[in-house]
A and B are shown apart, each in its own frame.
Chain A
């Protein structure tokens, strides 16, 4: 195994291949506080890519309710259990990653979901298990909170699917870091399905190969954001490219949120994959739970996010989410106006910090008539 640097865990670690970062890395920020689990992203992906035979239970994009929901079933709990916790010392992870704790004969520490684990997406996640009389009647470890976690492939810097494939059928594109399964080479051994800790590679029983999120690369190549991003009703998502921390540019929206303001955090950084989808953590969830899921930066991230009303730059950038189908490589705030631009600085979209408010009284004094809301 090679030694590589993983900035998310603040140290070098072991990986199957030497460090080889792409020219630029596709990345995304999801604001969990805005997600309403409408599943429009899920359907946008499904209708675009996975409507074929053998893809019926394949969700390259899914939204699950935390803490009890998961797809496939218990994807995160199963791995956390075998990983046996893990210690952080400040911003440095001192436990073992899934590469460093790989058992004999395997390239990563992993577990394999059964077919049944894919059978019930979202079923029962938001339901009460019984009658609740006279107020809260639950007696569960997590009482009166939940949130929605939208998930796609993380297009990791150190993908476990890629490391797991004995045939080299999975590759990371040097031009944008998107991780793909070569459908002409895959022989369906399912090592990647087992190896990916996020369980974002799916086996297709009809084609006999494994398939995964492709970050809508035909769109990304033309400067457009993926389908699950542009169809998001809640405008929770922004796609772009992330730099290494030492090369972060404040005018790059992703860099600003992840590196400069540190308000968006990786999902389970302790696994060691350096995932490239970053989450603004939910503000109402007990921090201990969030620290396990997003690492030690959670408390600062929530404080920064809560202060957004007094932070025009951060609030302004958050207003750019979902404002354009194009990938915004740069951004700037000029007073109350936020501009998203391409990599040459040409403006793509302008949004206002606050939408102008127009009050239309119910009673029209001019015509002495009460208005209705009929269109």
Chain B
């Protein structure tokens, strides 16, 4: 019950936040200096921050391409404390998609930054060889897991019927090494450390790429974030270290992408922006 009340409160706050548009709309993303970066999408600090509207284009450069446009734009605000930067992405989405499954795709978004700020900027489409990009990627199904959804097939399909899992045999001590090992035998991706599903402690994943098809895990997890559903779509905050090249006197670039689950968008089937300028404003 407490969780339900909490969710209602968050929805109320975020609905209010999305109604109060920022006074200024900027042609680039301006990260406003503050004492701390808010991780809550409904934090009042977001209300006074200028907003950048990133127009989204269909990814129609590499196969598989997206041919039908879905999400037209994402509204972005940013706050920094000098060492961390928080991006809040807001976009309209009529349908909640947070359950994985065959033929099911989760809503998602990503913030992309050049790995190094030196000019020229990498190709905005996932970078290029020798000019990589770093990406913080948030997904709605991971958020649902962080928010408490269970890790069983009936959490995804309430009417699913299960006969037996060998690693749930009464003869195996729950949580024992033998039991864990047997469960992993049937989950090879998990065994290889490729955590794409299941229980998660973070809804955000750090990635690097040097061109389409080269996406891989970043050497370290540096980003965190949280997404909440609003009556009209999503509000997602992604917090990560201030990127290379961004300071009160220098700027860099940032790009965004949104995946609409109901349109079967995943991987390269996505709506994406070009590079936008990313600047810092306020007392240093």
Contact = CB atoms under 8 A, between A and B. Distances in A.
A294 to B, nearest CB: 28
A47 B160 CA distance: 19
Interface stretch (B99-107, B220-228, B271-279): B99-107
Contact of A56 (B153, B264, B266, B269): B153
Given A53-B153, A202-B102, A207 B165 contact: no
A103 B190 CA distance: 34
B102 A187 contact: no
Query: What's the dominant secondary structure at chain B's contact region?
Result: loop
Interface in B150-197: 151-153, 156-157, 160-162, 164-167, 183, 185-197
B194 to A, nearest CB: 5
B100 A208 contact: yes
Contacts of B105: 190
A193 B191 CA distance: 22
A204 interface: yes
Nearest to A191: B64
A51 B157 contact: no
A115 B187 contact: no
Contacts of A49: 186
Interface residues of B, number: 49
A52 B103 contact: no
Interface in A207-252: 207-209, 211
A211 B194 CA distance: 13
B215 interface: yes
Given A54-B153, A203-B101, A204-B197, A186 B189 contact: yes
B196 A53 contact: no
A188 interface: yes
A111 to B, nearest CB: 10
Interface size class of A (residues with CB under 8 A): 35 or more
B194 A184 contact: yes
A183 interface: yes
Contacts, number: 141
Contact of A105 (B67, B100, B185, B195): B67
Interface in A136-187: 164, 166-168, 183-187
B197 A167 contact: no
A54 B64 contact: no
A207 B196 contact: yes
Nearest to B103: A114
Nearest to B58: A105
A208 B197 contact: yes
B152 to A, nearest CB: 7
A5 interface: no
B66 interface: yes
A104 interface: yes
B212 interface: yes
B281 interface: no
Given A188-B100, A190-B266, A208-B189, A105 B165 contact: no
Interface of A: 47, 49-57, 104-107, 112-115, 117-118, 164, 166-168, 183-191, 193, 202-209, 211
4 shortest interchain CB distances as A-B pairs: A52-B186, A208-B196, A208-B197, A105-B65
9 contacts: A115-B102, A166-B267, A187-B196, A189-B269, A193-B103, A202-B102, A203-B102, A205-B101, A207-B194
